[in-house]
Amino acid sequence: MAELRWNPMAKDWVMVISNRAKRPNMPKDYCPFCPGSGKVPEQYTVLKYDNDFPALSMTPAQPDTPMTAGAKGLYDVAPAYGKCEVILFSPEHEGTLYGLSAEHMTKVVDLWCERFAELSSDPEVKYVFIFENRGEEVGVTQPHPHGQIYAYPFLPKKIALEAENAKEYYEQNGRCLFCDMNREEIAFGERVIYENEDFIAYIPFFSEYAYGIMISAKRHKNNLSDFTVRERVNLGDIIQKITGMYDNLFDTRFPYMLCMHNAPVNGEDVRDSYHFHIEMLTPMRAATVQQFRASSESGAWAGCNPSSPEQNAAQMREAMGRFMAGKENK
Ligand SMILES: [Zn+2]
Ligand SMILES: [Zn+2]
Ligand SMILES: [Zn+2]
């Protein structure tokens, strides 16, 4: 079964994809993403790879879920239309984004841009979500450096909420919410971790995640397609700096979820009010202590940060200093 089911309490779609449970257990030493696997070219630098067991497909089955006649208007189902792609960052089986050369990292960004443009050209696609899950704490068992892209046929709730609130803020103030947040963070300074000419990284004022970071475009840009060549290079730069900093924070492979928030596509015009950013969400609150999203967070959506964003920002600036010093010594 692969279908979307409507949750009328949340007014949101849920992907119900039971066939993914059939994913085979691969032999431990086989990696489909390594050259020589037969699944990828013998040589590549970065690569788009169609997910072998996609949750969303361009040719989805029609849902045939049994329901009573009374379910009409209460429950709804829709085909699981869309696309799931894997983005291979490198042919090397192990490695990190910050370990890539700057040129190689720019190729990753260029591939994201290309896929974003291509997937959003399908009018049935309402959101293109680019992300990377990193670390076993967020369910990753495949060490080969990769991210993913989901092209959804609906606007996911978190993005919808952000877009709606940013639009309201714009209508009330005549300015972009995200541009205003950037301005305030630059003025205050204490939560800023790193910036280059085109992007800034800071712990949000209201962060629920101990080490969560917002990477925001300095100029008002909607999505990847708006970036200049220099902005693409600097987007790669800030992602490398932040992920390198994370691994220097506790001298461990720090897990994270890189969630890229481009503006919604093929829907309401949000050009003035929505603003490109990346949310780096982190499941740890110390080297070996996980910050669970438990009852309050998951059951009531009432977030609780067990630490001070200002103190953690200072700690991350120190880790950034160690990361940069280590690079210079190489
Ligand atoms: Zn591999
Ligand atoms: Zn803006
Ligand atoms: Zn966001």
Q: Reply yes or no on whether 220 is catalytic.
A: no
pLDDT score of 23 = 64
Note the ligand closest to the C-alpha atom of 163. 3
- Please provide the size of the chain in residues: 330
What's the CA-to-centroid distance between 232 and ligand 3, angstroms? 19
User: From the CB of residue 271, how many other CB atoms can be counted at a distance below 10 Å?
Assistant: 11
Read off φ and ψ for residue 300, nearest 5 degrees: -130, 0
d(CA 286, CA 135): 15
Note the ligand closest to the C-alpha atom of 33. 1
What's the CA-to-centroid distance between 83 and ligand 3, angstroms? 21
Share of the chain above pLDDT 70, in %: 98
What's the CA-to-centroid distance between 86 and ligand 3, angstroms? 21
pLDDT in tens, 8-22: 999 999 999 987 656
pLDDT in tens, 98-137: 999 999 999 999 999 999 999 999 999 999 999 999 998 8
Tell me what the mean pLDDT of segment 154-161 comes to. Answer: 97
Based on the number of CB atoms within 10 Å of its own CB, is 229 exposed (0-12), middle (13-18) or buried (19 or more)?
Answer: exposed
Domains and CATH numbers, the chain: 2-329 (3.30.428.10)
pLDDT in tens, 265-317: 999 999 999 999 999 999 999 999 999 889 999 999 999 999 999 999 999 99
pTM listed for this prediction: 0.96
What's the CA-to-centroid distance between 35 and ligand 1, angstroms? 8
- 72-111 burial, b at 16+ Cβ within 10 Å, e below that, comes to eeeebbebbbbbbbbbbbbbeeeebbbbbeeebbbbbbbb
What's the CA-to-centroid distance between 212 and ligand 3, angstroms? 12
Three-state DSSP class for residue 231: helix
Note the ligand closest to the C-alpha atom of 270. 2
Closest CA to 130 of 263, 258, 282: 258
Note the ligand closest to the C-alpha atom of 281. 3
- 5-14 burial, b at 16+ Cβ within 10 Å, e below that, comes to bbeeeeebbe
Closest CA to 111 of 131, 89, 91: 89
Q: How confident is the model at residue 85 (pLDDT cuts 50, 70, 90)?
A: very high
Considering the chain, what is the average pLDDT of its residues? Answer: 95
pLDDT of 61 higher than 70: yes
Tell me what the mean pLDDT of segment 37-59 comes to. Answer: 95
The active-site residue, picked from 144, 146, 261, 275, is: 146
What's the CA-to-centroid distance between 219 and ligand 2, angstroms? 7
What's the CA-to-centroid distance between 202 and ligand 2, angstroms? 16
